[in-house]
Structure 1
Amino acid sequence: MCNVSVGGLGSYLRRYWRELVFRHHGISVNNSSLQNVKIIETGKQNINAHMKYKDAVAACDSLTFIDLNISQIARKYGLDATAMANFMRIHYHDTLVWREKVRKQLGINDNTAHGARKKCIKQYAEAVRMYKETDMTMSEIAEACKVSLSGFSQHMRFYHSDILKQKRQRRKVAEATKTFGKLTGNGRMYKPAPATEKKYAEALDLYKNTTMTMKDIAKHVGVSSEGFRSYLHKWHKNLVLERLGVAGDVDENIDLRKAKRRLKTVAVKYEGAIESLRQNPRPIAKVAVEFGFRPDVFREYLNKHEPELAARQGMTCSASGKKISRRSEEKYFVAMKLYETTPESLKSISKRLGLTYNSLGGYIRRNYPEVISRHRDLL
C-alpha cells in the first residue's frame, strides 16, 4: 500500500516510535525507558509469549494439575498444545523433567518416550559437534552436514540449550573485539564474504607480489580503487603496513601517511641507483642525474634509508676541523701517508699509485699542510 519495505518500516518504528510498537503488541512498560525494553531478546522469552503461556506454565509446575499431560493443560487454557510444548522445551525444560519424574512416581505416567528421537540424535550428531567445537554459523554447518537449517536450529534449542548459552556468552565477550577469523558478537566469523574475497583475489595477489600502486592494480583488474583500498585496509592491514615499511604494533587510529617509513614502490624505484652507487662510488648528484632523479630528493632518501652509504659519499672533518670529501680522503690516504713518512717525492708517489700529481698536491696543500712540513724534515 505505501510502497515501503517491511524491514525498513519495522526498523524505523522500533527506533523512533517504540511506544506504538509496544501498544500494538499490548505491552505495558510502566514508565520504563523504552529503549531498554526489548520485545525479543536473544536467549530469553518474548514478552508476548511469556504473557500468553505464563498461566499454563504455572499450572504445569503445580501438583494440582499433575494428573494432566501438557496437551490437556494447553487445551484447558485455550492454547495450541504443540506450540506450548515447544515453548516449554526451550524455556522451562526443568519443569518438563520434574513433571515426568513425579508422574512416574505417582504411577500416572503416559509411558511415552520424551526427548530427542534416536534418529534425530544420529542425524544431527556431527552438526552439534561442529557447532560446539567451531565458530561456524548454523547455516554454514547445516550446509556442510546436508541437514535442514530450521530442523537443526530447533534441535539445538530443544535439546542443547547449554551449548547455545555457552555460544551466546562467547559472542558477548567478542562484541568488544574484532579479530580476523574469530567469532564476533553477531555469531559470524570476522572475515570478508566469499564473494568479496573472490572479487579482489587477483588484485590482492598483484598487491602482494608486485610494486604496482593500488590505482594501477584496480585499473588493471577492473575493480574500484576506493573499494580495493577499503578492502585492503580492513582485511589485509598487515600488507598495507608492510608496503609502507611500518613495523611493530601500530595503533588502529594512526595516520598511515605520517607513519610510513619505506615504501616498497619507492624502494624499487631507487634500487638500481643505490646499487650503482655502491659498485661505483661517485657524487650523489651525478648518480641522480644519470637515473633521472632529483638530486635533493635522492640525497634525502639516502640519508634516511641508507645512512651508511650516504655517509661514505658525503663530507667528513679532518683533525684540524676542515671539511673534506670522504671519497677524496679514501682516495689519497695511502699516498699522503707515504709522502709524510718517506723522502720519496710526491710526483714519484702519484705516478706509482696511478694518481694525478696536480690533484694529489692540491689536496695535500689545502687540507694537510703539516704533512708537507714533515716531509721536508725527512730530506
Structure 2
Amino acid sequence: MNQRRGQLPATHAKYKEAIAACDSMDYIAYNVSQIAREFGLNGTNLGRQLRTHYPEVLEFRERARQRLGLDDGLPRGTRPWCKEQYAEAVGLLQADRYVTVQEAAERCNVSYSGLEQHLIFYHKELVGNRIKIREQATRQQRRGKITGRGTLHAPKPETIEVYAEALHLYRTTPMSVRKIAKQTGVSLRGLYDYLQTWYKDLVCERKGIPYEEGKPVEWSSVRRYNPATAAKYADAITRLKEGGLSTAKVAAEFGLHPECFRQYLKEHEPELYARQGMVKTESGRSMANHSMGKYKEALHLYATTTKSVKSLARRFGFNDCSFGQFIRRHFPELHEQHQKLVQQTKKTD
C-alpha cells in the first residue's frame, strides 16, 4: 500500500510536466501514451501514476474527449475477467484486516503486483480504510492486535508450541524460569525473551509490579521477588503469624536456615520481623526480647534492693544510662517502687 500513501520527491519531479500536460486542453487530442512519448516516459508507468495519484485528471480527460468527439472507444474501468480474477483476494482483504496484500495474493494464487494495482485503481475505499487502521496502530505493539505493517502482533504457531509447556508451568507453579527451562528442555535465554515479549503481564504479576498495556514498566523501582522462594517460606510464615514460637524454633520445625529465614522476613515481611523481635511486659508494653534477657537479673535486684542504677550497671557490665532509660520506659512502676524502698531504708537508719 506504499504506492497509495504518496510519491517520492524524485518520482514527482520526473512525471510533473507530463501530468500537467495530461491536465491541459493543449494536449487533449493526445492519448496518455502519446503524451508519455513527448516527455520521454513510459506510457504504462505514466498511466499508473495518473490512476494512483491523479484519478481526477483521468476523469477530466475522459469527459473532455467525449465532449469533443475524441473518444477512442476503448473500455474504461475494471475488466470483467480482471474483476473475477481478483474477487476472492478482495473478499479476503475485506473480511480479515490482519491479512496483508501479499498473503492474500499467495492464498488466492494471483499476482501480488497485479492485485496491488487492482486495489489502488478500483478499491480506493478499501485501501484507504486499511491505511487508516495501520496508521492508528503504528508504534502500538500489543499482543493479538494489528501492527503498523498490517500483521497480527503475536508469536508464530511453531514458537507457541515450543514454549507451551514452559508457559503452563510459569502460570501455575512458583518455579523459577531457570528451573522451568531445564525441566522442559527449552533455551533459558529464549524463554526469557518469549515471556518478556509476549507475556510481560505475567512477568509483572509474578514480581508484584504494576502493569498497564502499552506503557513502559519501571523494573528498577521494584525489588526482585522470586516466587519459588516465597513458596519455600510460605508455611513457616503462616506458622510464625499464629504466634507463640520464636523465629529459630519455626525455622527448625520446617528445616530452614534460621539466619536466612530472618533475612527473608526482614526484606519481605518487615512488620512480622519487627514483631518477632518484641515481647510484651505485664503492663502490655512491647520491648525487645534480647533486652529483657540482658537486664532480667539486674531488674530483679533493682526491685528488691536499694542498689542504684549505676552500681547495678557497673556490676553487670552495661551502660548505666541505657539501663536507667530502659527501666523508665518499660517499668515506670518499678522505678517508683525502688524510690519508695530507698526512702524507707533512709527513715529506718
TM range (shorter): 0.5 to 0.7
| Equivalence for 2:73 | 111
- The number of equivalent residue pairs is 289
| Equivalence for 1:102 | 64
Q: Does 1:150 align with 2:116?
A: no
Q: Normalising by the residue count of structure 2, what TM-score does the alignment of the two structures yield? A: 0.66
| Equivalence for 1:125 | 90
Q: Contact between 1:244 and 1:261, CA under 8 Å: does it hold in 2?
A: yes
Distance (whole Å) between structure 2 residues aligned to residue 146 and residue 279 of structure 1: 71
Distance (whole Å) between structure 2 residues aligned to residue 266 and residue 317 of structure 1: 31
| Equivalence for 1:92 | 54
Of 255, 259, 278, 2:222 maps to 259
SS of equivalent to 1:228: helix
Pairwise CA distance, 1:56? 2.8
Q: Any stretches of 5+ residues in structure 2 without a counterpart?
A: 290-330, 335-349
Distance (whole Å) between structure 1 residues aligned to residue 142 and residue 169 of structure 2: 25
Distance (whole Å) between structure 2 residues aligned to residue 141 and residue 275 of structure 1: 59
Distance (whole Å) between structure 2 residues aligned to residue 144 and residue 210 of structure 1: 41
Partner amino acid, structure 2, of 1:149: Y
Distance (whole Å) between structure 1 residues aligned to residue 69 and residue 8 of structure 2: 35
SS of equivalent to 2:256: coil
C-alpha change, 1:125 and 1:168, in structure 2 (3 Å) is closer
Distance (whole Å) between structure 2 residues aligned to residue 125 and residue 293 of structure 1: 67
Distance (whole Å) between structure 2 residues aligned to residue 322 and residue 266 of structure 1: 31
The two structures, once aligned, show a CA RMSD in angstroms of: 3.9
| Equivalence for 1:345 | none
Q: Does 1:225 align with 2:188?
A: yes
Q: Normalising by the residue count of structure 1, what TM-score does the alignment of the two structures yield? A: 0.62
The structure showing larger relative contact order (alpha-carbon pairs under 8 Å, at least 6 residues apart) is 2
Q: Contact between 2:51 and 2:58, CA under 8 Å: does it hold in 1?
A: yes
Q: Does 1:269 align with 2:209?
A: no
Q: Contact between 1:59 and 1:65, CA under 8 Å: does it hold in 2?
A: yes
| Equivalence for 2:26 | 64
SS of equivalent to 1:94: helix
C-alpha change, 1:310 and 1:163, in structure 2 (3 Å) is same
C-alpha change, 1:248 and 1:238, in structure 2 (3 Å) is closer
Where do 1:1-379 residues align within 5 Å? Answer: 43-121=5-83, 123=87, 124-130=89-95, 134-143=97-106, 147-247=110-210, 249=212, 252=216, 254-256=218-220, 259-260=222-223, 262-277=225-240, 281-302=244-265, 315-318=278-281, 319=283, 321=285, 323=287
Residues 76-110 of structure 1, C-alpha deviation per residue, up to 9 Å, x if partnerless? 44443323222221122111111112222233223
